[in-house]
Chain A
Amino acid sequence: MTIRVESLEHTFGGDDAARHVRALDRISLDVYQGEMLCLIGPSGCGKSTLLNVIGGMFTPSSGRALIDDEPITRPMPAKIAYMFQESTLLPWATVLENVMVGLEFQGIPKPEREPRAREALATVNLQDFAAHFPDQLSGGMKQRVSLARALSLRTEILLMDEPFASLDEQTRMVFGEDLSQMLATTRKTIVFVTHSLAEAVFLADRVAVFTARPGSIKEIMSVDEPHPRGPDFMTTDRFARLRNSLYVQLRDEIRKAMREQQTSTSIA
């Protein structure tokens, strides 16, 4: 299953000229089967918008996204699972119920839901917390439940929007290793948005660098290292060089984005 993005453009605010924001500018991109593609760029560059379009959350102003040559116009829960940045766990339901509700929405018959949910929880090592409520869990655990929910759907494609952003660095590193391990064993295709350079280099097979708003793809960098990757990868020269070249690509865009924020706050 491959994803193709063709000449994608998107403007928010539509016809209202004073308030419209051009988020994406002629993005064309292929996502290969089984790869981990990271999207990285300064704030406001549109990477989440691109992810939303691929996820079928809305239709772009022009251009399109396709999955196996079929245009994506709405969410396709059988093929694409989307893990959001903020915690989207239902606070009134248990951990197990939270995972099961995703299966229910996908249309999985009732008897299969609980076993699959438990299996997914075991994958993220939370099987003992099935009866807990979200407010009893730490931030990291909540994200693991969200991940379990996404994994339980058994989709070929997984979209992740800064899933580790709210976690502390130590937890992020451990989760990164777990994710790399998972990439080695499954053959999922993952599109992953992050702000962290180290995370991008550590996890990605390819990294797409975005320009400042309106976002377009400045450069695609390859990381040639098989999964699973361990902490020793991070100490290699290659890692440092890749991370540096990523930074060099990004820093002009980041400065541009910072300047734009200053001027836009005075207009707004």
Chain B
Amino acid sequence: MRASRKPASLRRFFARPVVSQLAIVILAVLAWEVAARYSTDELFTSPPSAVFAAAADLFDEAGVMHAVLTTLWELGLSFLLAVGFGLAIGVGVGASGTSYRSLYPIILLAYAIPQVTVLPLFVLYFGPGPASKVAFGFSHGIFPIIVNVVAGLRTVPAGLLRSAYSMGANKQQIFRRITFPHLVPSFFTGMRLGMTATLLGVLLSELYVSSGGIGYYTELYTESFEPQNLFALTGMLALMAVFLNEVVRRAEIRHSRWR
């Protein structure tokens, strides 16, 4: 695989995907900067330098930061609720054959409904404040968690259960030593997918409500045509999403070692 000798270490350095990815991102940002500077309307294309400057200004603006932090805690709360209820419902549904066959089809039916259509209803019922965002995020995040917990429960290898039974294990021992450890990786996968879904739910509802929160500022910057502020705000939200996703993704990897 390593053909030439001399720049081996250098080549190996660049062969690592992370390095190339960073390089690509940096190049893209530089290209953007150059293109923006040379284009006719700097205001329109908004080079990264202006965006960073705007971001710095935004940090000082209490209103915007309050909206961003509110979004953050909405995300945290709806995710935690989704995890808690998702785990409980998932265990309840997946625990026995009867509950699985009778209840799971209903879960799947609910999961199939495109929730974006009922977003206005959520706001109508829960009001334009954080409650509707948390509710909408919760209702998005709970389904992947339920589905994955159920999948984990239903796929415990029959051979393991049989051999435990032959060794005299009782129900609690089988759950503690076999079912539960088997369930853990699926649970974390569910959480990873649940986080992505919760992000969608919370951010979608935040953007929808323009009377406050982030939706207010996105509408403000759009209508007053301040692209650098909008870029900065969008960037903050995107980074928040990437960070939260990464946290859950790494937790999943750590708990799926034996898979």
Q: Does chain A touch chain B in the assembled complex, meaning CB atoms less than 8 Å apart?
A: yes
Q: Can you identify 21 A-B contacts, CB atoms within 8 angstroms?
A: A57-B166, A75-B165, A75-B168, A76-B168, A81-B166, A82-B166, A82-B167, A84-B166, A87-B159, A88-B162, A90-B178, A91-B258, A92-B181, A92-B182, A92-B257, A102-B167, A104-B177, A105-B164, A105-B177, A106-B167, A153-B167
- Residue of B163, B164, B166 contacting most chain A CB atoms (<10 Å): B166
Least CB distance from B232 to A in Å reads 45
For B184, list chain A residues within 8 Å (CB): 92
Which 9 pairs between the two chains have the least Cβ-Cβ distance? A77-B168, A88-B163, A105-B169, A105-B167, A82-B166, A92-B258, A91-B258, A86-B159, A75-B166
For B166, list chain A residues within 8 Å (CB): 55-57, 75, 77, 81-82, 84
Please give me the residue from chain B that is nearest to A83 by CB atom. B163
Secondary structure type dominating chain A contacts: loop
The reply on B173 being an interface residue by CB < 8 A is yes
Least CB distance from B152 to A in Å reads 12
* Bound-complex Cα distance A77 to B170 (A): 12
For A102, list chain B residues within 8 Å (CB): 167
The reply on A141 being an interface residue by CB < 8 A is no
Please give me the residue from chain B that is nearest to A56 by CB atom. B166
The reply on B30 being an interface residue by CB < 8 A is no
The reply on A29 being an interface residue by CB < 8 A is no
For B220, list chain A residues within 8 Å (CB): none
Please give me the residue from chain A that is nearest to B169 by CB atom. A105
* Bound-complex Cα distance A84 to B158 (A): 12
The reply on B160 being an interface residue by CB < 8 A is yes
The reply on A130 being an interface residue by CB < 8 A is no
Least CB distance from B245 to A in Å reads 25
Within 8 A of B (CB), among A81-134: 81-82, 84, 86-88, 90-93, 101-102, 104-107, 133
For A75, list chain B residues within 8 Å (CB): 165-168
Give the A-binding residues of B (Cβ under 8 A): 159-160, 162-169, 173, 177-178, 181-182, 184, 257-259
The reply on A135 being an interface residue by CB < 8 A is yes
The answer to whether A105 touches B168 (Cβ under 8 A) is yes
Secondary structure type dominating chain B contacts: helix
* Bound-complex Cα distance A138 to B247 (A): 34
- Residue of B159, B163, B169, B181 contacting most chain A CB atoms (<10 Å): B163
The answer to whether B258 touches A84 (Cβ under 8 A) is no
Give the B-binding residues of A (Cβ under 8 A): 55-57, 75-78, 81-82, 84, 86-88, 90-93, 101-102, 104-107, 133, 135, 153
* Bound-complex Cα distance A153 to B164 (A): 13
* Bound-complex Cα distance A105 to B184 (A): 21
* Bound-complex Cα distance A86 to B168 (A): 19
The answer to whether B173 touches A105 (Cβ under 8 A) is yes
The answer to whether B159 touches A57 (Cβ under 8 A) is no
For A90, list chain B residues within 8 Å (CB): 160, 177-178, 181
Extra inter-chain contacts (19) besides given A75-B168, A90-B178, CB under 8 Å: A55-B166, A57-B162, A75-B165, A75-B166, A75-B167, A77-B168, A81-B166, A82-B163, A84-B163, A84-B166, A90-B160, A90-B177, A91-B258, A91-B259, A92-B181, A92-B182, A92-B258, A102-B167, A153-B167
Given A90-B177, A104-B173, A57:B165 Cβ within 8 A: yes
Given A84-B159, A88-B159, A77:B178 Cβ within 8 A: no
* Bound-complex Cα distance A209 to B7 (A): 68
The answer to whether B258 touches A135 (Cβ under 8 A) is yes
* Bound-complex Cα distance A76 to B166 (A): 7
Least CB distance from B180 to A in Å reads 10
Choose from B160, B168, B182, B257 the contact partner of A88 (Cβ within 8 Å).
Answer: B160
For B173, list chain A residues within 8 Å (CB): 104-105
Choose from A78, A81, A84, A153 the contact partner of B162 (Cβ within 8 Å).
Answer: A84
Please give me the residue from chain B that is nearest to A150 by CB atom. B167
* Bound-complex Cα distance A220 to B163 (A): 29
* Bound-complex Cα distance A203 to B120 (A): 75
Least CB distance from A91 to B in Å reads 5
Least CB distance from B11 to A in Å reads 31
For A56, list chain B residues within 8 Å (CB): 166
The answer to whether B167 touches A77 (Cβ under 8 A) is yes
Please give me the residue from chain B that is nearest to A153 by CB atom. B167
* Bound-complex Cα distance A89 to B173 (A): 16
The answer to whether B165 touches A101 (Cβ under 8 A) is no
For B162, list chain A residues within 8 Å (CB): 57, 84, 88
* Bound-complex Cα distance A84 to B163 (A): 7
* Bound-complex Cα distance A75 to B168 (A): 6
For A78, list chain B residues within 8 Å (CB): 168
Least CB distance from A230 to B in Å reads 32
- Residue of A56, A84, A90, A93 contacting most chain B CB atoms (<10 Å): A90
Least CB distance from A52 to B in Å reads 9
